Amino acid sequence: MTDLLETAIKHRRYLHQIPELSFNEFKTTAYIREQLDQLAVPYFTPLDTATVVFFEGTSDSKETIGFRADIDALPILEETDLPFASNHAGVMHACGHDGHTSILLTFAESLKHQSDAGQLKTNVLLIFQPSEESNAGADALINAFPFQDYSVSKIFGLHLGPDIPEGTLATKPRFLMASATEYRIRVKGLSAHVAQKNNGSSALGAVTQIATQLAQVQHYFLNGLNQNILHIGKLSAGEAINTVATEGYIEGTIRTYEPDDLEHIKVKMKDITKSADSLFGTTTELTVAKGYPAVNNSDSLIETVTESCDKSGLTLDLLTEPYLFGEDFSFYSSVAETNFAFLGARNEEKDYIYGLHTPRFNFDEKILVKGVQYYQSILETLGAI
């Protein structure tokens, strides 16, 4: 365990000092590839900042088991006072991706030893993926790397969880996390002096109408048994105190689990913007991003997860309710059976209580070893070693 811990700490502390934003993880990627080179482990580079490692097993089976880590950071000014705090001003590993990457790098070293000793029976794919926080790096990687050529049957992923106690692995079958879809609404009106406001077309009036109606979508048009969020995060309109507003803007996010609900929300948003234009004489542009699908864990892998938790000394918490956070691990369900889980990082005695995406997020590095052991246990459970 000491060697695993030392290795994991070395990786984590180096990576924590060089956080980089989505699709700009060049120093991070260079470090990952340098470590793999030192291990004499070959790898693929399907994207500038994506690295994929393939270990070939000894059995005749072509099945491949995948493990994924995300490598990007967030535009957050760090406030941890750690001696290895971020050297990149205004950028921080505030979501634990330095931990995820360290787990996978440490796991790669263990796999190299097992592969050299002829102990690895099943093929293993390690996925160091960029841009989870924005721009759907998983989707880009799936389009760039031929997963189908490697018969990838299962892909596992971990995320540090500061609201989950240390020593606990939290997951659930089916929906674990929501889809995350951003939208933007731009309204153009016609200017007029307030004394002759009837000559104008009020973008402010349209924005107010749209915002009011968006708030009604959940109540009137969606199944009340399903959890959905249609959130307005920013709203603005107008230029001067005594003129009719010519510009209006709304942006926000949609969170759903059922794909049909998302499509229904999109239809209603189009209806609402058209109605506002008809009433106020404005011209509205609605843009809905592709977004991240919901994380939908495969029922077939829950038994494997349960047994692997027990083998690695973790306590399994099978959640009854999903999270409304988004996560682009969801895209991997298009190429394999998947399971995503949270590795508990909460320790109140050591003050590891701060949430994801906050400037004081931190964790006890010993839990990284538990992540490596959990991945190792998955291979044991599946008969891969």
Give the confidence band of 97 by pLDDT, cuts at 50, 70, 90.
very high
- SS3 (DSSP) at 194: helix
Residue 352, pLDDT score: 98
Per-residue pLDDT, averaged over 346-362, amounts to 98
Kindly report, as residue ranges, where domains of CATH 3.40.630.10 are found in the chain: 2-178+294-381
pLDDT, average across residues 215-238: 94
Binding residues: 95, 97, 133, 159, 357
- pTM (two decimals): 0.93
Helices (H), 117-201: 137-144
In the predicted structure, residue 162 carries a pLDDT above the cut 90: yes
Which residues contact residue 274 at a Cβ distance below 8 angstroms, ignoring those fewer than 6 apart?
Answer: 284
CATH of the domain spanning 180-288, picked from 3.40.640.10, 3.30.1300.10, 3.40.50.720, 3.30.70.360: 3.30.70.360
Quick check: 87 pLDDT over 80?
yes
Per DSSP, helices labelled H in the chain are 2-17, 26-38, 97-116, 137-144, 203-221, 259-280, 302-311, 366-381
Statement: 2-178+294-381 belongs to CATH 3.40.630.10: yes
Please report which confidence band the pLDDT of residue 60 belongs to, taking 50, 70 and 90 as the band edges: confident
Tell me what the mean pLDDT of segment 157-184 comes to: 97
DSSP structure string for 39-85: TT---EEEETTEEEEEEPPSSS---EEEEEEE---BS-------TT-
Residue 49 has pLDDT above 90, yes or no: yes
Pick out the residues of the known binding site for Mn(2+): 95, 97, 133, 159, 357
Residues paired with 344 in a beta bridge: 161
Q: Which structure tokens are listed for 52? A: 């994929």
For the segment 58-69, the average pLDDT, to the nearest whole number, is 94
Nearest-5° angle of CA 95, CA 98, CA 101?
A: 120
Number of helices (H), then strands (E), in the chain: 8, 14
Whether the per-residue pLDDT at 1 is higher than 60: the answer is no
- Confidence band, pLDDT 50/70/90 cuts, at residue 216: very high
- Alpha-carbon span 113 to 128, nearest angstrom: 20
Half-sphere CA count of 106, side-chain side, radius 13 A = 30
Q: Where in the chain is the domain with CATH 3.30.70.360?
A: 180-288
When pLDDT is averaged across residues 45-49 and rounded to a whole number, the result is 98
**Cβ neighbour number for residue 112 with a 10 Å cutoff:** 17
Q: Given this model, what pLDDT does residue 2 score?
A: 60
In angstroms, the first-to-last Cα distance of the chain is: 19
Residue 225 pLDDT level (bands cut at 50, 70, 90): confident
Confidence of residue 280 (pLDDT cuts 50, 70, 90): very high
- Give the side-chain half-sphere CA count within 13 A for 99: 26
